[in-house]
Amino acid sequence: MQNKPRQIRVLSEEDIPAIERLLRTSEYVYQRFTLNELPLLLKRYPAVGLWNDSTLYGFLLSQIINPPLAWFSGFGVSWTESREYVAVLARLLDQLYEQLRAQGVHYFHYSGNDSENDWLRTLLLGRGFIPYRNLYSYDKFDYKVPTSGNQNVTIRNVDLAHDMPALLRIEEACFEDLWRYDALAFQDIASTHPYFVVSELQGEVVGYQFNALDDDYGYLIRIAVHPSAASQGVGARLMVEAIRFFERAHVSRIMLNTQEDNYHAHRLYEWFGFIRLQQKGFVLRKHL
């Protein structure tokens, strides 16, 4: 690889076919996005690639969902460069850090589902990342529900023009900065996810939920209920509607991640038949 000319440049939407080729063929790939999200990631957030003329040999994507925080969103190396994936990652990271700093990012995060077997974890720990949070993973393999939830709760599709202030209030009340979405992130979610709803109680938006699909897998990404509506069956009603969505989509498996100390969420998931996996997820952080 040292004898071949390689140049790093910023990626754009025009590079999607080259990125998708690496996603299909790479021996070393990390993907924290769906293909529906890829165009917006390249349009809005820093992304860099290693090129030789018109051939892409490696890529590294990011996502900024709540400045000054950003996430490691995707990485891949061509099969011809598999032996050099450590060097490729190092070069791309150094260039991406410059792009992130230019956009005011102070902290860069990486998440994985299996702390014991994640091939990127050790590499990133060796490049200045530190352990930051522990996660649990849950799976569900059926559509059974133990309750119908609060039937006085209205579930409807999100309307960002009307609902954005309520969504941001829920974020502020429910989540630390690490997990909090800003208005731009909600716009991206609404345009790329097949299911995004809000819950209303007595005419007021008190919660929301959105999901993603990947082949026959379903991802329950977020259920949030404002503390003012806690213990009123709102979360259960959102969960019921989410599972009905996955049933209509005929997924074989519903997956989710949650923070290790989010005990209220653990009780909800286990009540609905989600099984906690033995492997533990994690979040790493680097101060740029």
Say what the pLDDT of residue 39 is.
95
Rounded CA separation 227/214 (Å): 31
Rounded CA separation 10/49 (Å): 6
Of 221, 132, 227, 238, the C-alpha closest to 171 is 227
As given in the structure block, the two tokens for residue 52 are 């030789």
Say what the pLDDT of residue 214 is.
87
Of 78, 57, 69, 73, the C-alpha closest to 9 is 57
Domains (range + CATH), the chain: 7-105 (3.40.630.30), 142-251 (3.40.630.30)
Rounded CA separation 225/151 (Å): 16
CA torsion sign for 234, 239, 242, 243 is negative
Rounded CA separation 139/220 (Å): 10
Say what the pLDDT of residue 11 is.
97
Instruction: Write 91-97 long-range contacts (CB < 8 A, 24+).
Output: 91/6, 91/8, 91/50, 92/8, 92/48, 92/49, 92/50, 92/58, 92/59, 92/60, 93/60, 93/127, 95/8, 95/48, 95/60, 96/46, 96/47, 96/48, 96/60, 96/62, 97/288
Per-residue pLDDT of the chain (288 residues; tens, 9 = 90+): 455 678 999 999 999 999 999 999 998 999 999 898 999 999 999 999 999 888 999 999 999 988 899 999 999 999 888 889 999 999 999 999 999 999 999 999 999 989 999 999 999 999 999 999 999 999 999 999 999 999 999 999 999 999 999 999 999 999 999 999 999 999 999 999 999 999 999 999 999 999 999 889 999 999 999 999 999 999 999 999 999 999 999 999 999 999 998 888 999 999 999 999 998 999 999 999
Q: Is the pTM of this model over 0.95?
A: no
As given in the structure block, the two tokens for residue 231 are 């213990």
